[in-house]
Chains A and B, each alone.
Chain A
């Protein structure tokens, strides 16, 4: 366990060395937040004050929480593992006395922990100043929200890791990556809340882990769901966590047997 803790810590430190990148990222998240918020707000005004149970203020809160969580949750993922397979550096990862998935997971949690403040806070501050935020007043949603965020970070990690692991079988994962990004962006509730979907798409989305990757923590943090409902949603997150973990471990197990380490 200590190895994974050290890995998480080191990853936190690694990311903290790239402060300029963090500032640039926070700026971008805030600007895109302004664009998304103004689009949603004008849609809500046209619709006559509310869409799918979201008032103007609630919709703005949904946008700003999404923009704030974007980086910590790792919604854009990274292709580190796939590029290490390509370069053959995967040999180094595999000759370490740690579990491959767990070591990458620990490092992603360290990254997320670093991203919370520099990437998460600026969009929230901009949101509070520009549109105002509708946040709950009791501590419950924040506590459960924290658990939900950790689960969502892990789910996003495992989703992208599975796509990366395809590089054990195919040389180029870009196609799979693009497909995954499109599907995930839509079904996670990043573009619009999943409850705005037509019934059939909403049912489909709920049969996938994607809403658990963003919509769930955003809804819990915004206080849209009551205690029991929030707990059930976190339960669903953990269920998906178990499912993805099994898939990923199977992929590592069978993939590393047929992996050809590139290079001399």
Chain B
């Protein structure tokens, strides 16, 4: 039985807009328009889309804090809005921009409250808390008030809070927003291990491509309130025709792009820094990075290089641009 079932789900908002100096007009904005998807237990699904595409609206309806305009949602066998409290014991939610911890108390004081809310006995939540604190390295700041934690520390605390009751499903809304590379990576490793060991289902929204690459086998792309793509990430890259970009710094300046004999599928994009920095985009389905590098090094000595993956906004734009044409 699927853990999340969404059928023809829609939500519209009434927005007042000014019409003339004093009059206001009511306008319906369709944030989510008839989406369908299911998620099986143990899956890790990335829910992506541009700002305003309807991601957060969907998440709010899945967790029962927003009433759908129409359609049907079932999460862990519950109807989220009327059964919100029962559902809250089965799922863990992390809102990247909000906190479920008690702002003016030491971090460690939030967990007994959460344990009690989930009706867990001390013997039940305490060992689990120790395990989480250990895996997430919470030790050194457990006695620091939440308001004094850095964003990275707080997010680790938030994730531990969401997982304390061993939820079947964890919904994360922008969990890595604002985190540095190391904190992001730690969080991803932890979530991945949690899923592998306990079969926890993950649904996350993100703007970070690496979150998806590291964590999710399946991607749902929402654009303008409808599901634009549902499938594996590799498929998305193919559908969208995403290109990777290689940026090289040369030992000696080269002023003309024509000097490089690039293979088919690679396009010279720009010259910067007086001929030192060149960027070349290429199609990862046809060429490997090594082939492109070899072509460049045969013409000039490469001092440094970096590779840039396609970002999600770009992919979605590509996908939508091609679908609409």
Please report A residues at the B interface, Cβ cutoff 8 Å.
Answer: 2-3, 5-7, 10, 13-14, 17, 88-92, 94-99, 256-261, 263-264
Contact = CB atoms under 8 A, between A and B. Distances in A.
A263 B95 CA distance: 11
Nearest to B52: A264
A95 B116 contact: no
B315 interface: no
25 contacts: A2-B116, A3-B116, A6-B112, A10-B113, A89-B98, A91-B60, A91-B65, A91-B95, A92-B95, A94-B65, A95-B93, A96-B100, A97-B85, A97-B86, A97-B88, A97-B118, A97-B119, A98-B85, A99-B85, A257-B67, A257-B81, A258-B67, A259-B65, A264-B56, A264-B97
Interface string B195-227: 000000000000000000000000000000000
B54 to A, nearest CB: 11
Contacts of B95: 91-92
B98 A88 contact: yes
B85 A10 contact: no
Nearest to B174: A264
B245 interface: no
Contacts of A94: 64-65, 84
Contacts of A259: 65-66
Given A10-B102, A14-B102, A95 B84 contact: yes
A3 B117 contact: yes
A95 B113 contact: no
B99 interface: yes
B105 A14 contact: yes
Contact of A260 (B13, B105, B118): B13
Chain B contact patch, size range: 35 or more
B281 interface: no
B51 interface: yes
Contacts of B66: 259-261
For the complex of A and B, the 4 pairs showing the least CB-CB separation, nearest first, are A97-B88, A3-B116, A6-B116, A3-B117
B89 interface: yes
A105 to B, nearest CB: 15
A7 B113 contact: yes
Interface in B158-203: 173-174
Given A10-B105, A264-B51, A264-B55, 16 more contacts: A2-B119, A3-B113, A3-B119, A5-B116, A7-B113, A88-B98, A89-B98, A94-B84, A95-B63, A95-B65, A96-B117, A98-B85, A98-B117, A260-B13, A261-B65, A263-B97
B97 A13 contact: no
A88 B93 CA distance: 15
A256 B109 CA distance: 28
B51 A92 contact: no
A89 B65 CA distance: 11
B144 to A, nearest CB: 13
Contacts of B117: 3, 6, 96-98
B105 to A, nearest CB: 6
Given A14-B102, A264-B51, A96 B88 contact: yes
Contacts of A3: 113, 116-117, 119
B104 interface: yes
A10, A99, A263: residue with the most chain B Cβ atoms closer than 10 Å? A10
Interface-centre pick from A94, A99, A257, A259 (highest chain B CB count, 10 A):
A94
B123 to A, nearest CB: 13
A92 B145 CA distance: 19
Contacts of B116: 2-3, 5-6
B98 A92 contact: yes
Contacts of B85: 97-99
A169 to B, nearest CB: 13
A99 B89 CA distance: 13
Contacts of A5: 116
B104 A14 contact: yes
Contacts of B60: 91, 261
Contacts of B112: 6
Nearest to B120: A2
Contacts of A92: 95, 98-100
A45 B81 CA distance: 62
A245 B51 CA distance: 40
